[in-house]
Amino acid sequence: MSNTSVTALVRSEFKKISSTRLWWGLLVGAVVFTAFQAGFTTAFAGVDPGAGQPTSPGLDTDEAIRSAYGFAAFSGTYIFALILGITGVTGEYRYQTITPTFLVSPRRSRVITAKMLAHLVMGVVYGVVGLVTALAVSGIVIKIRGFDLGYGTEGLWTSMALAVLAIAIWTLLGIGIGTLIRNQIVAILVAIFITFLIEPLASFGLSAADLDTVANFLPTTASSALIEPANTFVDYLDWWAGGLVLMGYALVLAGLGLLLNIRRDVS
Amino acid sequence: MGRMMPEGIQVDVVGLTKMFGTFKAVDDLTFSVQPGMVTGFLGPNGAGKTTTLRCLLGLITPTAGTTTIGGRAYRDLADPIGTVGAALEAASFHPGRSARAHLEVMALGAGLDPAVAGDKLAQVGLSEVGDKRVSGFSLGMRQRLGLAAALLGDPRVLILDEPANGLDPAGIVWLRSFLRALAAEGRTILVSSHVLSEVQQTVDDVVVLSRGRLVNQGKLADLDSGPRGVLVRTPEPEKLRDALAGEALSTEGEAEDGRIRVVGGTPEQVGHAAFVHGVELHELVAEASDLEKTFLLMTEGAVDSVPVADLGGATTS
C-alpha cells in the first residue's frame, strides 16, 4: 500500500460530504433561490417596468429563453456551490477533523487535490439540479404566459451545459478560498462581500474608465462569458476563455493557500 | 495475521525543539519509546506533551530536531494509519457525523475496507451507538471513538493523548487492560497524562516532561526509589525527637497536618522507641507510595503543577 492514493482520498471526501446534512441543506437553498430567479426572470420578461426603464427582451426572443433556463440556473445556484466548496475545507478546521484528515494523508496537497475532484463532481450535481429547477419553473411560467417553451432556441443547450460547468467551477473557487482562508465565517463573508459588492463596483468602475477588457476577467463577468456564448449585446471573453479564467482563479487561490498552509501547524 | 509476532517498531524523538513565537514549548527533547510495553508520557498541563505528539505525527513542524517512527518521519510512512494509530484530543469529530461515518471517512482515505469501522466500534464497545451523531456523545464515548479511530489500520504503534480524560473509573480499568493486551502483542504504546495515578497501573516506562524539558526517563518503579518515611502524630513532639535521637533516627520537622516525618526507620522501630521512652503516640503510619509526590517534585514550578481533574474540556499542552 503506498502513501494514500488520491483516488482513495476522493472516496473519503465523498463520504465526508454525504455523511453530514450540509450538502443537501445548501442544495435546497439553491433550488429555492433558482426557482425564484427563474420565476422572476420569466414573469417579467418583455414587460414594461415603467418609469422609463428599458424593457427586457420578450419571451419570444432567443435571448430571453436562454436567460430563463441557463442563466437563471447559474445565478440561483452558483453561490450555494461556492459555499459548499468553502465549507469543504474550512469545516475541517472548524470541527478539527483536519487532524484525522492529515493523519490519514500527511501529504496535504493530495488532500486538497482530492477535495477539488470530489467537489467538482458535487458542483455538477448542484448544476444539474439547478438547471432542472430552472427548466421546470421557467417552463411553467412561459406556458402560463402563452409562449412557446423554446427548446429549439439557438445555442440553448450549449448555454445550459455551460451553466452547469460554471456552477461546478464555482465550487472549485470555494475550495480555493477555503484553502487560503481557514476561518469558515471569514471565508464565506469575504467571498460574498467580493462577489456581491466589490466585483460589481469594480466592474462598474472599469466600464466607466473604458477598461471593459479588464472587467471581463472578473469572476462573475467571466462566468457570464462562459454561460452566454451566443450573447450578441455584450462583448465578453470567448466562452472557453471565460471558463479558463474561472479555473485559473480557483487554482491560483488553492495554490496560494497550499503554499501558505502546507507546513502550517495544525493544533 | 499469523501466530508469528510482527517486528516491533521503535519511536524516537531526537533533539526536538519547538518555538511558538518566543515561547519554547519543547526544549531539546530526546527520548525513545520501545515496543512491547506501555510508556507513560507524563507532565503537567502545558509541559509540551501534546506539542511533542503532534510533531511526531507530522501535524506540527519542529523548530529543530527530528521525530521518527521506525526510522521514518510520519509524512514519509508508506501506510500512515496502518503504521501509527493516534488519538489526540477528543474534540476532533464533526458533531453532525455518526461515529461509524467518522471511521469510514478515515478508512476510505487510507484505502481500507470501510467495513472495518464496525469491527473497531465493537472493539471499543460503541456498536450500539455507532449510527448516532457524535454531538450526543459524552466525553468518555468520544475517547472510545478516538481509540477506535487509532486502531483502524491495526497499527503497530499507538500514540494516545490523555486517553483517560473523561473516562469513568470503570472506563479507566477497561482502558488499562485494553492497553496492556495491545502491548502484549508487541505494539509500541505511548500514553500521555497529566495525572500520574491515572496511568500508574498501566505503564512500564515513563518519560517525564516539565516545561518542555525531559526530567526523567526510565522504569516507573525507579521513580519510586526515594527513602520512604514514617509519619507520627504526638502531643509531645520534643520528647519524641529526643527519644528518636537516642535510636539514631532523625525527624524532618512537622508535616502540614501536624505529623512528624521520621526517616531511616520502620514503623516498628519508631513505635518501639516511643514505647521505651514513654512518649504518647496518636498515630503511627508508614508513608504511602510517594510516586505522585516524586512526580510533583520533579515537575515542580511548571506552568500548572497542581493536577486538576479535567471537567470535559480537551486538554492541550
Q: State in Å, rounded, how far the first CA of chain B is from the last one.
A: 37
- For residue A86, the model assigns a pLDDT of 97
Looking at the structure, tell me whether residues B113 and B211 fall in a common domain: yes
A139 inside domain = yes
| Number of domains forming the structure of chain B | 2
- A110 to chain B: closest CA residue: B109
B203-229 per-residue burial string, b: 16 or more CB within 10 A, e: under 16: bbbbbbbbbbbbbbbeebeebbeeeeb
pLDDT, tens digit, for every residue of B97-131? Answer: 999 999 999 999 999 999 999 999 999 999 999 99
A55 inside domain = yes
Looking at the structure, tell me whether residues B117 and B244 fall in a common domain: no
Spatial separation of the C-alpha atoms in residues B41 and B38, rounded to whole Å: 10
Looking at the structure, tell me whether residues B279 and B216 fall in a common domain: no
- For residue B2, the model assigns a pLDDT of 44
Please indicate whether, in this complex, the C-beta atoms of A15 and B104 are within 8 angstroms of each other: yes
From B195, B223, B251, the end of a domain falls on B223
| pLDDT bucket at B309, cuts 50 / 70 / 90 | very low
Query: What's the domain range around B284?
Result: 230-289
Looking at the structure, tell me whether residues B146 and B49 fall in a common domain: yes
- For residue A107, the model assigns a pLDDT of 92
CATH code for position B141: 3.40.50.300
On whether the CB atoms of residues B107 and B116 are closer than 8 A, the answer is yes
Residues from chain B contacting residue A95 (CB–CB below 8 Å): 92-95
Looking at the structure, tell me whether residues B57 and B200 fall in a common domain: yes
What ipTM did this prediction achieve? 0.90
| Number of domains forming the structure of chain A | 1
Q: Which of A192-206, B75-89, B191-205 has the highest mean pLDDT?
A: B75-89
Spatial separation of the C-alpha atoms in residues B51 and B317, rounded to whole Å: 7
User: Residue B84: helix, strand or coil by DSSP?
Assistant: strand
Nearest to B108 among A1, A15, A106 (CB): A15
- For residue B316, the model assigns a pLDDT of 43
B296 inside domain = no
Of residues B167 and B109, which shows the higher confidence score?
Answer: B109
Chain B positions touching chain A (beta carbons under 8 Å): 50-51, 54, 57-61, 74-82, 86, 88-89, 91-98, 101-102, 104-106, 108-111, 114, 149, 316
Looking at the structure, tell me whether residues B134 and B217 fall in a common domain: yes
B305 inside domain = no
Of residues B145 and B238, which shows the higher confidence score?
Answer: B145
Looking at the structure, tell me whether residues B241 and B177 fall in a common domain: no
CATH code for position B261: 3.30.70
- For residue B261, the model assigns a pLDDT of 82
The mean pLDDT value for B183-196 works out to: 93
How close, in Å, is residue A184 to chain B by CA atoms? 14
Of residues B277 and A178, which shows the higher confidence score?
Answer: A178
- For residue B312, the model assigns a pLDDT of 35
Instruction: Give kind and range of the element (H or E) at residue B231.
Output: strand B230-233
Looking at the structure, tell me whether residues B109 and B174 fall in a common domain: yes
Between the CA of residue B174 and those of B144, B163, B170, B260, what are the distances in Å? 11, 12, 6, 39
On whether the CB atoms of residues A62 and A230 are closer than 8 A, the answer is yes
B154 inside domain = yes
| pLDDT bucket at B1, cuts 50 / 70 / 90 | very low
Nearest to B109 among A2, A95, A104 (CB): A104
B59, B131, B316: best to mutate for the A interface, most A CBs within 10 A: B59
| pLDDT bucket at B247, cuts 50 / 70 / 90 | confident
Residue A69 CB partners (closer than 8 Å, separation 6+): A38, A131, A134, A135, A138, A156, A159, A160, A163
- For residue B307, the model assigns a pLDDT of 42
Query: What's the domain range around A182?
Result: 6-261
Residues from chain B contacting residue A104 (CB–CB below 8 Å): 80-81, 106, 109-110
Residues from chain A contacting residue B106 (CB–CB below 8 Å): 12, 100, 103-104
Average per-residue pLDDT for chain B: 86
A142 inside domain = yes
Residues from chain A contacting residue B76 (CB–CB below 8 Å): 3
User: Could you tell me the mean pLDDT of each successive run of 10 residues in chain A, 267 residues long?
Assistant: 80 97 96 96 82 78 88 94 97 95 94 96 98 96 90 86 94 94 95 89 83 82 78 71 89 89 83
On whether the CB atoms of residues A150 and A206 are closer than 8 A, the answer is no
Residue B89 has pLDDT above 80, yes or no: no
Looking at the structure, tell me whether residues B176 and B237 fall in a common domain: no
